[in-house]
Amino acid sequence: MEKIVKVSRVRLDGQGYDRGGRYFGVGPRLFHFEVEQAFYNDESGYMRAHSYQEARNHFKSKGYKVLR
């Protein structure tokens, strides 16, 4: 079974808030990920990375197929 993860960037303002007003702090870019698994509950979360490619490579190195 192929593992699939969707990765998308979360835009933050200069003070670390997203468009909905949720606070994430400042630092490297923030990405949201959703792991799709057929037999388990979907898993999702946030991660910091300097670029989309870095976030993508994090999951690819673990054997995931990465989608936007």
CB-side neighbour CA atoms (13 Å) of 67: 8
Share of the chain above pLDDT 70, in %: 91
26 forms bridges with which residues in the sheet? Answer: none
If phi over 0 gives left and psi between -120 and 50 gives alpha, with beta otherwise, what is residue 61? alpha
pLDDT of residue 65: 94
Stated pTM of the model? 0.87
Higher pLDDT, 65 or 42: 65
pLDDT tens digit string along 51-61?
A: 999 999 999 99
Higher pLDDT, 37 or 17: 17
pLDDT of residue 27: 95
Return the closest-CA partner of residue 42 out of 53, 33, 50, 52.
Answer: 33
Task: With H, G, I as helix, E, B as strand and everything else as coil, classify residue 47.
Answer: strand
- DSSP 8-class letter at 11: P
